[in-house]
Amino acid sequence: MPAAKLKPLSQSSSSLAALTLGAIGVVYGDIGTSVLYAVKEVFGSGHVPFTPANVYGVLSLFFWTLTTIVSLKYVVLVLRADNHGEGGLVAMLALASQAVKDKPRMRQMLLLVGIFGTALFYGDGVITPAISVLSAVEGLEVIDPAFKRAVIPVTLLILFLLFWVQKRGTAGIGQFFGPLTLLWFLAIAVLGVHQIASYPGILLALSPHYALAFIWANPGTTFVILGAVVLCVTGAEALYADLGHFGKKPIRLAWFAVVMPALTLNYFGQGALLLRQPEAVKNPFYLMAPEWALMPLVVLATVASVIASQALITGAFSVTKQVIQLGYLPRLSILHTSERDTGQIYIPMVNWGLFVTIVLAVVMFRSSSNLASAYGIAVTLDMLITTFLTFFVIRYSWNYPLALCLAATGVFFLVDLAFFASNLMKFLDGGWFPLIIGGFVFTLMLTWKDGRQLLNTKMRADWLELAAFLDTVFVLPPARVEGTAVFLTAEKGAVPNAMLHNLKHNKVLHEQNLFVTVINHEVPWIGLEQRLEIEALGNECWQVLIHYGFKDDPDIPKALVPLASHGCRVDAMNTSYFLSRDTVIPTIGGGMATWREKLFAQMHLNASGAADFLKLPNNSVVELGSKIEI
């Protein structure tokens, strides 16, 4: 496999300030809107009596949860585990699996765990927009209880508009995400300072003594409320996922200079308010604000929640594309919404699939408090999986001593496990919902992966060796016609079915014949100088390998242009692309359960055409079909 080349950041010429501002808008939107509901869910649960000691203890838990999980785990440790500059669970999975590639069983186990974590991301992707937008719109109830009936319709309207504009791209409005989110963090910080000023003693809760004292005095209650406390770190995975867009320094600077101080001030401000007015527990965030500021605050909170949701939707598009490249999902229609930024993509099936499921979540749960019960299991399980994979990266890729690796990840694993175990108690109250979504996506991923392996095994059993076949053909060569034929084949060195059909029915060969195999690698980027491998087969025939990383955009015509330096000039106006369009026939007693074979056959049938995915010109593609039993 060719070495991966680090792709320069698209913002490399921008200033550190601009990158930091962008990180505030994209990376921290989700965790920034947690102030809308996190404190309300802890104290509104009824598990924590209103006493000064309990308020101090819970606020200390909030602060040290942010410090342990976000500051230490993600910002200090996990951000170091970049895959050639890229982050996210897919990048971590690729890094971990490559580190243990000489241990097949361990690698297979890591792939299963990592892919399950990736599938859970879609469950998180449903709950996050639903709870963020709904909790923001619920501020209308604070302004006037008569608005309660409008909360659900307004939420659904906002969500519909958000998903409807995705096809138009976000390049135009994306430039405002950073400033608007920065305004949000400044606003929540000011609200917090205003309340803290009337009860400055609340800042004593910064000491871990109060958290430890609360845990010691209330071990059972602590375990129960961890499922709500973890809401303050939802969105932490975005720090790592957006590493490739902004880099480590801007993400770290944004966190320590803006985001964590603003979150801490707001949480402590809500605590100060509750100590003075326990009845404010019904919505402590909005009740922090003076009456004149409520409507502007609702509008700003809604904008912030939309930006947080937008970042997650964009992440869903990006993750889906990466998973397709790694071979765990069928090809889907991917549209580019920006001519300048190749990362701006739109996947219609993912977009509207998310929207329908989010509408279902809003209609089923009907309030942010109910959605909070569904939130947490998928998030904490993903955090647990990230910690698990990090161990294998630092042990087998960085080759650190075992004791150091266990120490570096063990504490975080225990913390994540405690939060996950607490959230399991919410399973029957809604926690099942994101798990069902994740399980469904995981089933699709494994079925596609296993089905492709069965399909490839079947095709290998029937294949003809290309070099020997060409030697036979050119003993009595058929008529040659002008132009270039590009035959796409999944296996290097195999005779493409499309070529056999072409010879059988048309009885001609083109002047030039390229046998092209696309190889996807478990690295984000493949440098242009390592993109192509070419081998001359004689008689104007060439075997061509095209290498892509899981974040590259496949473009076969563009990739073939450098072949001119090898004596093979590909004229776009005189080139035909031949593809095999296989129809999968499930059989009883095959390699998978019958229902999985039928599911795979349906997924294979509904996959978008290879021509569109590989950016082949529509007027130059010839597809020849065949049936394959698995």
Looking at residue 1, its pLDDT comes to 41
Residue 394 in domain: yes
Q: In terms of domains, do 310 and 377 share one?
A: yes
Read off the pTM: 0.86
Which of 401, 422, 450 is the endpoint of a domain?
450
Which of 400, 416, 450 is the endpoint of a domain?
450
CATH number at residue 369: 1.20.1740.10
From 266, 263, 311, 306, select the one nearest 69 (Cα to Cα): 263
- Measured at the CA of 236, the angle between CA 231 and CA 242, to 5 degrees, comes to 150
* Cβ–Cβ < 8 Å for 140, 309: no
DSSP string, 468-481: HHHHHHTTS--EEE
Share of the chain above pLDDT 70, in %: 95
Residue 7 in domain: no
Q: Mean pLDDT throughout 559-574?
A: 86
Q: In terms of domains, do 301 and 234 share one?
A: yes
DSSP string, 95-116: HHHHHTTT-HHHHHHHHHHHHH
Q: In terms of domains, do 434 and 543 share one?
A: no
Q: In terms of domains, do 544 and 439 share one?
A: no
Three-state secondary-structure class, residue 462: helix
Q: Mean pLDDT throughout 513-542?
A: 89
Start-to-end C-alpha separation, the chain: 29
Residue 456 in domain: no
* Residue 621 parent element (H or E): strand 621-629
Question: Does residue 359 register a pLDDT over 50?
Answer: yes
Within 10 angstroms of residue 503's Cβ, the number of other Cβ atoms is 15
Q: In terms of domains, do 476 and 446 share one?
A: no
From 353, 375, 370, select the one nearest 431 (Cα to Cα): 375
Write the pLDDT tens digit of every residue in 265-280: 999 999 999 999 988 8
| Residue type at 340 in one-letter notation | R
**Distance in angstroms (rounded) separating the CA atoms of residues 463 and 452:** 16
Residue 372 in domain: yes
Looking at residue 339, its pLDDT comes to 61
Looking at residue 240, its pLDDT comes to 85
Question: Residue 592 CA to chain centroid, in angstroms?
Answer: 28
Which of 427, 450, 473 is the endpoint of a domain?
450
**Cα torsion for 616, 621, 622, 625, to the nearest 10°?**
40
**Distance in angstroms (rounded) separating the CA atoms of residues 554 and 608:** 14
**Distance in angstroms (rounded) separating the CA atoms of residues 38 and 266:** 11
Lowest mean pLDDT among 5-9, 21-25, 530-534: 5-9
* Cβ–Cβ < 8 Å for 310, 173: no
Three-state secondary-structure class, residue 265: helix
Looking at residue 68, its pLDDT comes to 95
- Name the phi and psi angles at 28, rounded to 5: -110, 10
- Give residues with Cβ within 8 angstroms of 78, minimum separation 6: 87, 92, 239, 240, 386, 390
- Categorize the per-residue pLDDT at 341 as very low, low, confident or very high, splitting at 50, 70 and 90: low
Question: Does residue 589 register a pLDDT over 90?
Answer: no
Write the pLDDT tens digit of every residue in 8-57: 444 444 478 888 888 898 889 889 999 999 999 998 777 888 889 999 99
Q: In terms of domains, do 404 and 492 share one?
A: no
- Categorize the per-residue pLDDT at 144 as very low, low, confident or very high, splitting at 50, 70 and 90: confident
Question: Residue 126 CA to chain centroid, in angstroms?
Answer: 12
* Cβ–Cβ < 8 Å for 59, 205: yes
Looking at residue 51, its pLDDT comes to 86
In this structure, the strands spanning 479-488 and 508-520 are parallel
Residue 128 in domain: yes
Residue 9 in domain: no
User: What radius of gyration do the chain's Cα atoms show?
Assistant: 27
Looking at residue 6, its pLDDT comes to 38
* Cβ–Cβ < 8 Å for 140, 151: yes
Q: In terms of domains, do 410 and 476 share one?
A: no
Question: Does residue 169 register a pLDDT over 50?
Answer: yes
Q: Which is higher by pLDDT, 182 or 145?
A: 182
Q: In terms of domains, do 417 and 500 share one?
A: no
Looking at residue 9, its pLDDT comes to 43
Q: Which domain holds residue 485?
A: 463-629
- Tell me the pLDDT of the chain averaged across its residues: 88
Q: Mean pLDDT throughout 339-365?
A: 86
Looking at residue 597, its pLDDT comes to 87
Q: How many domains does the chain have?
A: 2
Q: In terms of domains, do 367 and 441 share one?
A: yes
Q: Which is higher by pLDDT, 302 or 456?
A: 302
**Distance in angstroms (rounded) separating the CA atoms of residues 33 and 130:** 12
Question: Does residue 77 register a pLDDT over 80?
Answer: yes
- Categorize the per-residue pLDDT at 182 as very low, low, confident or very high, splitting at 50, 70 and 90: very high
* Cβ–Cβ < 8 Å for 93, 101: no
Q: In terms of domains, do 595 and 489 share one?
A: yes
Question: Does residue 338 register a pLDDT over 70?
Answer: no
Q: In terms of domains, do 187 and 39 share one?
A: yes
| Residue type at 399 in one-letter notation | N
Residue 32 in domain: yes
Question: Does residue 171 register a pLDDT over 80?
Answer: no
Q: In terms of domains, do 384 and 336 share one?
A: yes
Share of the chain above pLDDT 90, in %: 49
Residue 39 in domain: yes
- Name the phi and psi angles at 376, rounded to 5: 125, -45
Looking at residue 342, its pLDDT comes to 56
Question: Does residue 407 register a pLDDT over 70?
Answer: yes
Question: Does residue 459 register a pLDDT over 90?
Answer: no
